[in-house]
Amino acid sequence: MLGQCATVHDRKRPGIRTVYNAIHIRSEPVNARATTHAWYKTGSRIFLQAKSYLSKWVIMSDAIPLSFRVPAPEIRPGDAPDFSGVDIPRAGSVRRPPVDSDPEELRDLAFTIIRVMSRDGDAVGDWTLDLDEEDLRLGLTHMMRLRAFDARMLMAQRQGKTSFYMQHLGEEAISCAFQRALQPGDMNFPTYRQAGLLIAQDYPMFLMMCQIYSNEKDPNHGRQLPIMYSSKEHGFFSISGNLATQYPQAVGWAMASAISRDSKIAAGWVGDGSTAESDFHAAMVFASTYKAPVVLNIVNNQWAISTFQGIAKGDAGTFAARGHGFGIPALRVDGNDYLAVLAVARWAAERARRNLGPTLVEYVTYRAGGHSTSDDPSAYRPREEGDAWPLGDPVLRFKNFLIKQGLWSEARQAQLQAEIEDEVITAQKEAEAIGTLSSGNTPSARDMFEDVYAEMPPHLVRQRQEAGF
């Protein structure tokens, strides 16, 4: 008798006709049937005469059919790319508040985009940093190195030298610049698209490649999927591969630093899609409650594999605005603007370091490549969409900025590009001389039984013997 509809005339309110949904709350099927029968028979004229009658039925709501909404992007393959909905403020137009501002006074920063480099190639506005020439050149070098590294490793995967690869194309500025805001001892809890955190510390590309090839020099002993690097020494927490699980861990690490009265801070990383994970919200609760010294980063590259961001976010304003309910200051920044990323990262890191608590930062960017080597983006978005992305290419923009400032030239750019490619090729040759996944020079199968526990328990000793290693 669920949801039975009837048109009812209430005798106390003559002339008012209402369509009701009703649900029977007593198990009196005979009566219920009789009642329904009566309703059918009398058509639109039912008089609710007795309270006992009402007690058998609970009036639920007007019987308007509900509708189910599934958000979908307006643009799909075959359509012309359209980013007219992305509101991009002029570079330099967003204010830079003091780091100890009341979070309530920072709410506007979650609905704008902090940008430093203008279209004319100048650094403008409050967020402009005083960087020396060496810092600027390093920024460009790191981004170019990461891009060249990606290109070679993507090719190596296509050549069958390893199983899998994930590139950063279009997102190089974020991790390369962010790392420059940290200090030795700080800890990143990265996802799979922040290798710039290592590159910007001159972590050996050779070791990264050994990890990608799962060869005998792989620091992870061939146990992890390619690009799941780990280096405690470089403040780079072991990448999991599960999404958002490391967000609360970053908060916990930061809480531990505060408990220990240390001076180190942590940084968590998550993508736009995985802000939907419960762990994102768990991290925000703990960061908010304990004012953990952590920078919580959201890399919004518009796409979660094939899923557009409306699925993770619904109609909510921005991902950054998720911080507001937790009282966490939230900033939105142009992720393709090296100088803006560095400026915001320093602001957020300073807040953490000064015990002012967590900051949520959304980097607005675009994943110009596939999600991974197992992905074909042309199946779900226009091929031309990356070129139409209004925030441009981070490497090109930064190069043009340096040229405009008189610090760089096309000739030096070409020379640097050639040097970087040489470095990458040299590292690749060294790594491949050790071995690749396909060449078979991978760690011994005996090794998989190690490090499950600090000390191998008897059942694993037996299994290793059984396996014949």
158 alpha-carbon distance from chain centroid:
26
| Minimum distance from residue 219 beta carbon to other proteins (Å) | 5
Rounded distance, CA 5 to CA 23, Å? Answer: 9
Q: Which of residues 33 and 223 has its CB atom nearest to other proteins in the complex?
A: 223
| Minimum distance from residue 452 beta carbon to other proteins (Å) | 5
Q: Which of residues 214 and 301 has its CB atom nearest to other proteins in the complex?
A: 214
Q: Among the candidate windows 57-65, 201-209, 253-261, 322-330, which touches other proteins by CB under 8 A?
A: 253-261
152 alpha-carbon distance from chain centroid:
25
Give the residue, chosen from 44, 242, 378, 405, that forms a contact with other proteins under the rule CB under 8 A: 242
The answer to whether residue 466 forms part of the interface with other proteins (CB under 8 A) is: no
Q: Which of residues 298 and 339 has its CB atom nearest to other proteins in the complex?
A: 298
Of 186, 188, 184, nearest to 250 by C-alpha is 188
Rounded distance, CA 283 to CA 249, Å? Answer: 8
Residues 162-201 that bind other proteins (CB under 8 A): 187, 189
Q: Among the candidate windows 20-28, 151-159, 193-201, 256-264, which touches other proteins by CB under 8 A?
A: 256-264
| Minimum distance from residue 242 beta carbon to other proteins (Å) | 5
Per-position x/- string for 269-288, each x denoting binding to other proteins as judged by CB under 8 A, each - no binding: ---------xx--xx-xx--
Q: Among the candidate windows 87-95, 101-109, 226-234, 386-394, which touches other proteins by CB under 8 A?
A: 226-234
| Minimum distance from residue 220 beta carbon to other proteins (Å) | 5
| Minimum distance from residue 302 beta carbon to other proteins (Å) | 26
Q: Among the candidate windows 68-76, 108-116, 212-220, 361-369, which touches other proteins by CB under 8 A?
A: 212-220
Give the residue, chosen from 179, 215, 246, 302, that forms a contact with other proteins under the rule CB under 8 A: 246
Do residues 334 and 364 touch, judged by C-beta distance below 8 A?
yes
Give the residue, chosen from 118, 230, 307, 438, that forms a contact with other proteins under the rule CB under 8 A: 230
Q: Among the candidate windows 56-64, 131-139, 257-265, 429-437, which touches other proteins by CB under 8 A?
A: 257-265
Q: Which of residues 179 and 257 has its CB atom nearest to other proteins in the complex?
A: 257
Give the residue, chosen from 36, 163, 240, 441, that forms a contact with other proteins under the rule CB under 8 A: 240
Q: Which of residues 28 and 451 has its CB atom nearest to other proteins in the complex?
A: 451
Token couple for 16? 């008012």
Q: Judged by CB under 8 A, how many residues of this single chain contact other proteins?
A: 47
Do residues 324 and 110 touch, judged by C-beta distance below 8 A?
yes
φ/ψ of residue 112, rounded to 5:
-130, -170
Please list, in sequence order, all residues whose beta carbon lies within 8 angstroms of the beta carbon of residue 262, skipping any fewer than 6 positions away.
Answer: 256
The answer to whether residue 249 forms part of the interface with other proteins (CB under 8 A) is: yes
What are the distances in angstroms from CA 315 to CA 72, 134, 246, 318, 361?
11, 43, 26, 9, 19
Do residues 322 and 384 touch, judged by C-beta distance below 8 A?
no
Q: Which of residues 117 and 250 has its CB atom nearest to other proteins in the complex?
A: 250
Residue carrying the six token digits 């071995």:
435
What are the distances in angstroms from CA 177 to CA 75, 139, 360, 394?
31, 7, 16, 11
Q: Which of residues 242 and 306 has its CB atom nearest to other proteins in the complex?
A: 242
Rounded distance, CA 423 to CA 94, Å? Answer: 39
Q: Among the candidate windows 104-112, 249-257, 327-335, 378-386, which touches other proteins by CB under 8 A?
A: 249-257
Residues 437-456 that bind other proteins (CB under 8 A): 451-455
Residues forming contacts to other proteins in the complex (CB under 8 A) are: 187, 189, 218-221, 223-224, 228, 230-232, 237-238, 240, 242, 245-257, 259-260, 266, 278-279, 282-283, 285-286, 289, 451-455, 457-459
